[in-house]
Amino acid sequence: MQNPNNATFHYCCIYAAKGIIDPNQKLDSALLKEENVVVRLLGSDAYENLVGRIVSPAGKKEIEDLDDKAREKLELRRNSLLLQALHHAVIHVESCLPLDIVRSYHEENSELPAYVKAPLKKNAERAFKSVSAAMTFARGSFLSKNYDFIHEQYYVTDDQSTVIQKLHPTTISDGDLMTKLSMGEVQVTEKLASILYYDKEINKIIDIYSESLTPYKSGHLHAFIAAWTALEMFVATQFKEIQSSVAININGTAAHNDFSSRMLAVMKDKYRLVDKFAALSSYYEDADADEDIAVLKSIKEIRDKFFHTMEGEIKDLPLDQTRELISKYLQIYLERKCEGFVFQKAAR
């Protein structure tokens, strides 16, 4: 480095958006852009350029200086990265911090370098969670529900582009429903990603929910637990908001206020998850409320049998059903909160 004090540390990660097939080759859209982190949605041309910078930061001259064996290894690595995103859109997340901030995380006798302790990866992951959830909502949960982790690396930029790399293998799924991407979906994703990134009221739920969107990175069990936990948290949080609106009916007729108030007081803090969900779906006036309640009961029964008696197998935990349910009600919540947002509704 010519001037180490001007160095900037970076962390980048790449995901294949499995639900998007054959995006525009020229696609290069910033879905989220903040002070220290940028998330871009890339088509094949932009991704190919990115891969070129990853495998050979110094460009063609670096490749020309290699021997045949090293050049072949570099080409294999390049092809591997390209194939893992073949026909799919790519989400590229990059965060950066200046050297002086990274230095502040240095600890004597620590095995971890300062750049790993610095919030480079944490900032990138938070941004990805907001964007992946936004994309899923914008397109419908059946269309964009899995994001396959492809690559991550730390690197330092200065006048000579010194690079530190770390590459991870990935598993690719063949079974997801895929559709082409519309620019309307990109625009909704871009607007919504910023909202989710800053919405403290729901940010924690979104962080957990988005963990369910990367089952090939974290595993099916982890993804299911994330989806179920997000559903529980969302229902509990929203029930608190609407609890004052809950009333008791007797054979379809509103009960007397005094009776209703006394019964609700007795039930305070005793509502089950299914009760809260039923109240929430009724409050949202959803036409499929009865069906959704039945789905929740089915998911809960499978979940309880597995975790309480270890009955069943991990692969049979209903990840898709759980994600679809939490996605649907998060979308309803966001449509109510964010005027002008309309999400694509995928048919069952």
Strand positions, DSSP E, 177-277: 249-250, 253-254
Per-residue pLDDT of the chain (348 residues; tens, 9 = 90+): 455 667 889 999 999 998 888 899 999 999 999 999 999 999 999 999 999 888 876 656 666 667 777 778 888 888 888 988 888 999 999 999 998 999 999 888 877 888 888 999 999 999 999 999 998 888 875 566 688 899 888 888 875 556 654 433 333 333 445 566 777 778 878 888 888 888 888 889 999 999 999 887 888 999 999 999 999 999 999 888 877 665 545 444 454 455 445 545 544 556 789 988 988 888 887 788 889 999 999 999 999 999 999 888 998 999 999 999 998 898 888 888 876 666 655 444
Q: Rounded to an integer, what distance in angstroms lies between the CA atom of residue 51 and that of residue 175?
A: 25
- Which residues contact residue 23 at a Cβ distance below 8 angstroms, ignoring those fewer than 6 apart? 41, 43, 44, 88, 89, 180, 181
In three-state secondary structure terms, 38 is: strand
Domain ranges within the chain, ordered by starting residue: 6-198, 222-337
